[in-house]
Structure 1
Amino acid sequence: MEETEELCLVCNDASSGYHYGVPSCNGCKTFFRRTIMKKQLFVCQHEKNCPVDRSIRCACRYCRFEKCIQVGMDRSALQASRDRIGYTKRTRRPKVKEVSFSSSSSMSPQSYIVESPGYAQKAFETYWSYVASREKASNELRLSDYSPKRSLKEALCSKSLLNDPIFLSNHTAVSPRHTYTELRFIKQSDYHYWHERDWFVLTEYAKTFKVFTDLCYEDKAELVRHAAITIPALNQVYNSPDHGPDTVVFPDGTYYDRTHEPTRPAGLNRKKYQVLDLVLKPFRDIKINFNEFAAFKAITFLNPDADVSLTAKLAINEERVAVTKQLYDFMVRNDGVEKAIRRFSRLILIGTSMSKMACESKEAVWIADFFENIGYTSFAKELFFGEHNSESEL
């Protein structure tokens, strides 16, 4: 009978043996040793409950070290003579070839492809640590009460707040408005509120991609405009607590389901049903995890079908292909080839369905605006229709 592989108690990767009293992998063993020997102190940027597993164990060093202690790693087991930091023997380092990460930005780390499997694994872990950090910061900004009043151009041409650690530490506390004790059915004002918040976060999210910041303003606006339906839908679905197969719940307790809303235009009612059928249901069936969602969201955003210049299309597509390859590699590492192919294929097909949904929803937005069924804000009009709210232009 085949022996069951022992796992690291910290991150659930394959254990390389007992280190400091518990089964652990080489990565967590080394991290624990260095933290103790260097007397390092870490700060959690979130709520001290960050996930620690083999895919994102580098995302928060505070929570990783706390988990090392919780599972029983014994600091007294370190031996100063054996566990000093640095090389105990000079070895020839492997040749390193520098490359760029997909989804690169000022927030993104440098990556390497090397001949050593250990270095390749480190690059892989660092990439997914970045993916997870960006998505966590996006959701925290969404839950905060920070909401600046600005034009689309001001939003897209300023630096990303998600790349500003000082801003994030001061402005990402969960707003009391974004908590609830009981659910209530959504109103039109709630739709307005959450769409505005998701569009605000979308502009900050977009600027974390270097390929985006390199575009001219017209291409930036068109790419964000193209994502203005799909990215909010993804945020709403993935971050919704499970209150049934046909219910999307917002952070303030408002929700929508299959209940017909006669005061809303037919096209927007149809969009609601499509979100439930084409996004919520398959997401729950596939059971995508946090990193898979973060990568899929990036793939959805980086859509070369947007009405951008040819140069922009090529750059966006190149970045999109790179992220897609990273996602497939991640799923293979976690699920094995056979299961990964099934899950990856189903996930990518969701993107195809969402593209069709976005086209139909934009038509509904235009019709609703024409008949004045919906009172769009000036920012929404600028985002969807390119209108500027400036009295001097009248």
Structure 2
Amino acid sequence: MENKELCLVCQDFSSGYHYGIPSCNGCKTFFRRTVMKKQKFVCQFDQNCPVDKSIRCACRFCRFEKCLKVGMDRSALQASRDPIGYTKRNKKPERQLATEINSDESSSGSPERQISPVRTFENTLNLLSVKEKSANELRLSSYLPKRSLKQALCSKSLLNDPIFMSKHVIISPRHTCENLRFITQDDYHYWHERDWFVLTEYAKTFSTFKKMSYHDKVELVRHAAIVIPVLNQVYNSPDHGLDTVVFPDGTYYDRTHEPTRPAGLNRKKYQVLDLVLKPFREMEINFNEFAAFKAITFLNPDANVSLEAKHEINTERVEITKQLYAYMLQKDGLEKAIYRLQYILIHVQSAIFRFGRLILMGTTMSKMACESKEAVWIADFFENIGFTSFAKELFFGDS
């Protein structure tokens, strides 16, 4: 009879009892290797990362801690019966061995397996991808608290709270875009508020951000308040052509002129379509690349922050940029050329071109942000748009 028992670590289907508890082959292998090799891991967040079958590889520290918490027994391992690697006695065919070694990091439908084809840079890019996945889940949920900007920035990130994410995000009602309808002013308000809320939670997942003074936090978030929502809206939009951005609830905008909106905000809409949506679709940006580019865009030392904060922001930003370049080079260059060495130069040049084009979009985004903020100030001055108190704090300051 088929085993319906679940793994106590990641809730995938169990393959039986291993080291004292029902567990899947992936968690069994991960636990055995960690104990036998005496490996030590470090959590990049608050040591409470979610561990389930979809993102169980994201944080090895929290995964091992959960193994111990649910009852996996170190003493149940026997060196003679649970070796790491293989000997002449138990040597296995290469394909079978590779399958077993990777069993703890793969599962059918696993997001990180789908979006992380290059393992060399998996550690850095996977952390960013996990952040992005959680941020998008929060964006899709119905949870939207009423709070001040200070309350938002001084609290712990909800994205690092597995209990909150499980209760309010994973099982809460989600937006669906079964039927499309043209966007209204209320829809713009709603999705701007949602994206600003998610932005504050996303910001707090960066270690650099946590160390900043309150003033620096406000300025960095304020600097990102235009461009990060645009990136969210464009990348997560279902593909209805190069002239249409669709929100998760089915509302959309295109090149249709909206006479009730200020001219500056109409112009911003056309910029989003021409300068962001079109290049993203043409370059076929994948999830890892988007997560890294969004982090680079957010960590902008041009924000009005202190010199110390500028240095810390730039350090983290440069590291992510290097990882993104190496990832794109390997993905578009070496990986494609491995079977056709004569085309290496062509593929590497392709990777360099894509990387350069993506990074230089940052300049375009900054210019668009400046023009959009000017349009927002004008709209507020003439009272064309009724901004919420949170939006006014974000754009115009506490006063």
The TM-score with structure 2 as length reference comes to: 0.70
CA-CA distance at 1:149 after TM superposition: 1.1
The one of 227, 231, 256 equivalent to 2:228 is 231
Aligned positions of 1:1-394 closer than 5 A: 34=29, 58-59=57-58, 84-86=82-84, 124-173=121-170, 176=173, 178-336=175-333, 337-387=348-398
| Partner SS state of residue 385, structure 2 | coil
Answer yes or no: is the 8 Å Cα contact 2:139–2:194 preserved in 1: yes
Equivalenced residue count is 299
Q: After alignment, is 176-185 or 337-346 more displaced?
A: 176-185
| Partner SS state of residue 255, structure 1 | strand
> Which stretches in structure 1 are left out of the alignment for 5+ residues?
1-29, 51-55, 62-79, 90-120, 389-394
- Quick one: distance in 2 between partners of 1:343 and 1:265? 35
Larger helix fraction of residues: 2
Aligned residue identity for 1:308: V
Answer yes or no: is the 8 Å Cα contact 1:33–1:83 preserved in 2: no
- Quick one: distance in 2 between partners of 1:83 and 1:126? 30
Relative distance call for 1:378 and 1:36 in structure 2 (3 A) is closer
What are the Cα deviations for residues 11-69 of structure 1, in whole angstroms up to 9, with x where unaligned? xxxxxxxxxxxxxxxxxxx958716979xxxx9978x7x5xxxxx993499xxxxxxxx
Relative distance call for 1:381 and 1:34 in structure 2 (3 A) is same
| Partner SS state of residue 252, structure 2 | strand
The TM-score with structure 1 as length reference comes to: 0.70
CA-CA distance at 1:338 after TM superposition: 2.1
Answer yes or no: is the 8 Å Cα contact 1:260–1:269 preserved in 2: yes
Answer yes or no: is the 8 Å Cα contact 1:223–1:308 preserved in 2: yes
- Quick one: distance in 1 between partners of 2:119 and 2:263? 50
CA-CA distance at 1:126 after TM superposition: 2.2
CA-CA distance at 1:156 after TM superposition: 0.5
- Quick one: distance in 1 between partners of 2:302 and 2:277? 24
What are the Cα deviations for residues 216-258 of structure 1, in whole angstroms up to 9, with x where unaligned? 0011000000000000000000000001110000000000000
CA-CA distance at 1:358 after TM superposition: 0.2
Higher relative contact order (CA 8 A, sep 6+): 2
Answer yes or no: is the 8 Å Cα contact 1:163–1:208 preserved in 2: yes
Aligned residue identity for 2:29: R
RMSD: 2.7
CA-CA distance at 1:167 after TM superposition: 1.4
| Partner SS state of residue 358, structure 1 | helix
Aligned residue identity for 1:374: I
What are the Cα deviations for residues 295-318 of structure 1, in whole angstroms up to 9, with x where unaligned? 000000001111111111111111
- Quick one: distance in 2 between partners of 1:222 and 1:36? 43
- Quick one: distance in 1 between partners of 2:124 and 2:364? 28
What are the Cα deviations for residues 324-350 of structure 1, in whole angstroms up to 9, with x where unaligned? 001101111211132210110110111
- Quick one: distance in 2 between partners of 1:347 and 1:339? 12
> Which stretches in structure 2 are left out of the alignment for 5+ residues?
1-24, 34-48, 61-77, 88-117, 334-347
